[in-house]
Chain A
Amino acid sequence: MTSAMLKPIAGYLAGLLFGLGLALGGMTDPARVIGFLDLAGAWDPTLMFVLGGAVVTTFVGYRWVLRRRAPLFAGAFQLPTRRDLDAKLLGGAALFGIGWGLSGYCPGPAVASLSGLSLPLAAMLTAMVGGWWLARRLG
């Protein structure tokens, strides 16, 4: 098979693992996410375990994968190289955190919850795409 055929299959597998991980980890439940951010309430630690498991696995896996010369089905690894902090990075992250705290949705769980579509979720997803469009306009 050519890499043009393998790339979409590899993409599906990555998405499936990601979606399974989010659901198994309870991240498709906004109440769990808001419960984690609610330090003054009945704190829900689940997100900490999800993020911890993901970071440790990725840290170890990246060390192993990035020793290779190139990825399996593409020409080169595409890694961000900037290391400086700027207002766009921090301002964007600050706005994102407010929206995250209001809804309990970051982009992954919001999209992964599509099979449980409701009017509020549809509003969330539509506005999120509108926000991405606006950010490109501003950027």
Chain B
Amino acid sequence: MLDWSSSLQGLAGGVLIGLSAVWLMAALGRIAGISGILSALVLERPKGDTAWRLTFLLGLISGPLLLTALGAFGNVAGQPGAVIGAPAGGVGLMLVAGLLVGVGTGIGSGCTSGHGVCGLSRLSPRSLAATVTFLATGIVTVFVVRHLLGGGA
């Protein structure tokens, strides 16, 4: 089912994400890969290369907060006005999922932003392979959880 207003908002949101990636490259010469930026901030704090990661994190959090304060432009399915949707499961599921996301993006050197947005834009074969792979396992996982096991999210 195609919902044009959420799709158009999605397109506009995607353009903003693209502008963020272009700006980060223009200003600091960096790939806008969230897992890379934040894992180095939390685990390594490289000298002279940490402050911008911290402010990036603050900006990332303040974006949705700003929309919440405005009380407009949220895009949560079936909840007009809401900006942040509810988690898809409980603590146990999220611990497993979080560990997989952390280990996977750590070993695979990137996530949806680094490989999916920046890597595809650079026509990187590694990022194309990674993006196809995580889309495929994501689709299979949802199929198994929703349609074979019939539970979960």
Let me know if A46 and B28 touch, CB within 8 A: no
Q: How many angstroms from the CA of A101 to the CA of B11 in the assembled complex?
A: 22
Contact A32 B27, CB 8 Å, known A15-B56, A62-B122, A131-B104: no
Let me know if A116 and B153 touch, CB within 8 A: no
Let me know if A12 and B58 touch, CB within 8 A: yes
A-side interface size class: 35 or more
B-side contacts of A13, CB under 8 Å: 23, 27, 59
A-side contacts of B52, CB under 8 Å: 7-8, 10-11
Contact A25 B17, CB 8 Å, known A20-B66, A53-B10, A101-B145: yes
Let me know if B98 and A26 touch, CB within 8 A: no
Among the listed A14, A88, A101, which residue makes an inter-chain contact with B27, where contact means beta carbons less than 8 Å apart?
A14
Q: Which B residues have a C-beta under 8 Å from some C-beta of A?
A: 1-3, 6-32, 34-35, 38-39, 42-43, 48, 51-68, 73-78, 82-109, 111-113, 115-122, 124-126, 129-131, 133-143, 145-147, 152-153
Task: Pull 21 A–B residue pairs with CB atoms less than 8 Å apart, ordered by A.
Answer: A15-B57, A16-B59, A19-B59, A23-B74, A24-B13, A31-B85, A37-B139, A38-B142, A49-B11, A53-B15, A54-B18, A56-B14, A62-B122, A93-B129, A97-B133, A99-B96, A106-B113, A111-B60, A123-B92, A128-B98, A132-B102
Q: A38-B142, A89-B108 are in contact. List 13 more A-B contacts (CB 8 A).
A: A18-B32, A37-B142, A45-B10, A61-B19, A61-B26, A82-B126, A92-B109, A93-B137, A99-B100, A102-B153, A104-B88, A105-B97, A129-B39
